[in-house]
Amino acid sequence: MILTVTLNTALDLTYGVPELVPHASHRVSDMSERPGGKGLNVARVLSALGHETVVTGFAGGSTGAVLRELLAGLSPLEAGPKAANGALPAAAPVTDALVTVAGNTRRTIAVVDRATGDTTQLNEPGPLITADEWAALLGRYEELLTGADAVALCGSLPPGIHVGAYGELVRLARTAGVPVLLDTSGEPLRRGIAARPDLIKPNADELAQLTGSREPLRATRDARRRGAHGVIASLGPDGMLAVTPDGIWQASPPAKVLGNPTGAGDSAVAGLLSGLVEGLSWPDRLRRAVALSTATVLSPTAGDFDRAAYKELLPRVGIEEHTAAA
């Protein structure tokens, strides 16, 4: 089982418009509603890759009730390739282990310009979490770690949660002997990395904010020296750069694509975690992560991925190994 933690869950609303024009009224051409937040997006993709997944975090209020109702009725995504050879597994369930809180779960609204593929994102801040609610989450998390093969800690912190929360969760996972991937930004990332997670997955902006450098290899190495065992830097259309104890690799998609990037990083996290649990080599983990990320950009719905594109992209992802030691 893979555990994903989303402290700031969301109800994701995606609106498609023929063309997004500032200061104008728009007629929505299509709309979707689904459980969201980074860890829930990761869980959906893991499900499609055949991995049983449990989601925890916070949910509350009327929006939280809708989120959990949608999560309960969630049909596993159509199965996608499980291994580098493209074999198709059966999709696996996603189990709700969210902690109920008094505050109302946030909404995120993505407005997709269908003419250009550009997306405008509006993210609410999330509910205020009390000390008792945080204590309940810690208890639930420690119980779930006993059955986990890996854990992903994903996304922003809701109001009321202390900035070192991810560091605390990383330390608990390491004490339990469970590999942990941290995917957050800003001060929560800075505090979390000091607890020595197995992996972090910053994008270029998050990496620059953490290290002060925009040169990818230098910044990624610097981030690893700050405490992470492995750093997987997401470079957008240029793919991913991995600095690990086993070596340094860069994975690149076969071509740049246009589309909705919402959820692309979450799909990459699912690719990395599933590859870790399956014991894949670093090049194969990176191929999967880049192919999933690119296929997510090509999907019209946030948090989903284009399965046909994924199957076609997977063998075409380029891998370059750097000779310099990590």
| Burial environment of residue 177 by CB neighbours within 10 A (0 to 12, 13 to 18, 19 or more) | exposed
C-alpha to C-alpha distance for 240 and 169, rounded to whole angstroms = 26
Confirm whether 118 is a catalytic residue.
Answer: no
The total of other beta-carbon atoms located within 10 Å of residue 115's CB is 10
Active site residue: 183, 266, 304, 306, which one?
266
Residues taking part in catalysis: 266
